[in-house]
Amino acid sequence: MGTEAAAMAQGAEHAGEIVHYFPTEVLPGVVINMQTMYMTWISMAVVLVLFLAAARSPKLIPCGLQNVMEFFIDFLNGLMEGTLGIKGRKYMAPFIITLFMFILISNELGMLPQVGVHWTSPTNDVNTCFGLSLTVAIGVYIVGVCQHGLGHFRHFVEPSPAFLPLHLLDQITKPMTMALRLFGNILAGEILLIVLYRLAPWVVPELWVMFSLFIGFLQAFIFTMLTLTSFAVAFAHH
């Protein structure tokens, strides 16, 4: 299984393809998409390096990387304060900022030139996207209980117990739609890039890459906004 997967991966690289997962069976019936794992760790490393580099020698008047990072942080702080309130912003800022930066870097990673390293976006794998959405869904319950105790679950029967089935359905469908929206947009962008490179190898793919960079930011923003609306329940005053 591992040999076949490696051969498929090498064939994809020689063909100039962008999307493959390099599946490896680590245990009987347990398959890990190693390409996704590699790119996920690279994305985490890039986020860590960006924050460390921006905070290494902070200046009163920011410039360069510090200015860019402070722009994103101020932007996200404004979103959090408007959705979660001041208390919610202070409580959730580390998680929300890290989540946004990780998704942003992951989305853009697949747009790098395929030179030497086979770059793909971790978010073009539905497993990564479901992992992110389930983390948010479970985190809402944890934070809600920490803030309100078991009374957090009271909103499931508000304004009437008759709404319980709708609230339960919402809890199931929301993580699914968050994951599939992110996955579909990123995967479709990389597949279209493959097609454009084969049909029109000059100019057009470069224009699409620039548009895809914007789409990567937009999808990170949308996922973060949906995350904030999910956590807003945990900070609402019943």
Residue 95's closest CA among 77, 69, 110? 77
Q: Which two tokens stand for residue 175?
A: 């993580």
Distances (CA, A) of 30 to 26, 45, 83, 122, 126: 6, 26, 40, 19, 16
For residues 107 and 186, the answer to whether their CB atoms sit within 8 Å is yes
Token duo for residue 173 = 């469908």
Specify the pTM.
Answer: 0.85
Q: CA separation (Å) from 221 to 32, 191, 204? A: 28, 22, 26
Whether 62 contacts 70, CB under 8 Å:
yes
CB-CB contact of 175 with 130 (8 Å): yes
Question: Which amino acid, residue 29?
Answer: G
Cα–Cα distance, 188 to 186 (Å, whole number): 5
Q: Please state the φ and ψ torsions of residue 110, each to the nearest 5 degrees.
A: -70, -10
Span 64-114, pLDDT tens digits: 888 889 999 999 999 999 999 898 999 999 999 999 999 999 999 888 776
Tens of pLDDT along the chain (238 residues) come to 435 444 444 444 444 455 667 788 878 888 888 889 999 999 999 999 999 998 888 887 777 888 889 999 999 999 999 999 898 999 999 999 999 999 999 999 888 776 667 788 999 999 999 999 999 999 999 999 988 888 888 888 888 888 888 888 988 999 999 999 999 999 888 888 778 877 777 777 778 788 888 999 999 999 999 999 999 988 876 4
In the chain, what are the domain boundaries?
A: 2-235
* Model pLDDT, residue 19: 61
End-to-end Cα separation, the chain, in angstroms: 54
Residue at token pair 């057009």: 204
